[in-house]
Copies of this chain bind each other. A is one copy, B any other.
Amino acid sequence: MPRGRPPLRNREQVLAAAVRLADADGLDAVTMRRVASEIGAGAMSLYTYVPDREHLIDLMVDRVAGEMELPALTGDWRADLFALVGAQRAMMLKHPWLTGALAGRSVMGLNLLAYLEHGLGALEPSGLSGGTRMAVLALLTGFVASYVTAELAGDSTGTEQVTQIVAAMASGDFPRLAAAFAEGGSEPPDFERIADWVITGLVNQATGNS
């Protein structure tokens, strides 16, 4: 039996409120006071459910990682990996603060472990060794993270930066850059195409050389 005064709230509610705030107003809006008042609690009460703000953010990351729906494995590692990176991209687009939260941090909650486990399962038919499979997965998640970062940044690149880039183009100091922009427009190849390159190319290379 629990001994003391029973908690009025639980960690789940705290995390839900924090994620809601971050989705709406960005990671900086996730302050202890705002999260607390969001669930009608005093600021210091949060420390019952969470050790400090850093851990709160770690927990938020693992929480949204748990939202990913990982479809059952088909045995076709190419298709399974494709679904995996798609799920990760969808999650990161839904929670734009993730790109900022993951920076430099190395979280490893249960949901992220489950994600890894799923990925290892997808790669099982490939015949790669365990260490290599881990490396491939790390690479893929890194690829998705950096792609989504670019994707999100593209939507809201500041006017000043555009100005500077245009000026740099006009200066003639970056001929290849200017050519690339002039030629292809600024939109990157779509996610599916690149993901396909990476998955196929990477695994082919790994099976050949490892």
Contacts and interface: CB of A to CB of B under 8 A. Distances in A.
Interface of A: 96-97, 99-110, 113-114, 116-117, 120-121, 124, 129-135, 138-139, 141-143, 145-147, 149-150, 152-154, 157, 161, 164-165, 168, 173-177, 179-181, 183-185, 187-189, 193-194, 196-198, 200-206, 209-210
Contacts of A120: 176-177, 180
A180 B124 contact: no
22 contacts: A100-B103, A101-B103, A103-B149, A104-B152, A104-B153, A105-B153, A106-B157, A107-B161, A113-B168, A117-B174, A120-B176, A120-B180, A131-B180, A131-B189, A135-B188, A138-B150, A141-B146, A142-B145, A142-B147, A143-B143, A201-B202, A201-B204
Dominant secondary structure at the A interface: helix
Give this chain's copy count: 2
Contacts of A180: 120, 130-131, 133-134
Nearest to A103: B103
Contacts of A196: 205, 209
Contact of A200 (B152, B187, B205): B205
Contact of A147 (B138, B147, B183): B138
A111 B78 CA distance: 38
Contacts of A205: 196-198, 200-201, 204
Contacts of A202: 197-198, 201-202
B174 A113 contact: yes
Contacts of A203: 201
Most chain B CB within a 10 A radius of its CB, from A100, A103, A209 = A103
Most chain B beta carbons < 10 A, residue from A135, A173, A185: A135
B176 A121 contact: yes
8 nearest CB pairs, A to B: A103-B103, A142-B146, A131-B184, A106-B153, A201-B201, A201-B205, A130-B180, A100-B104
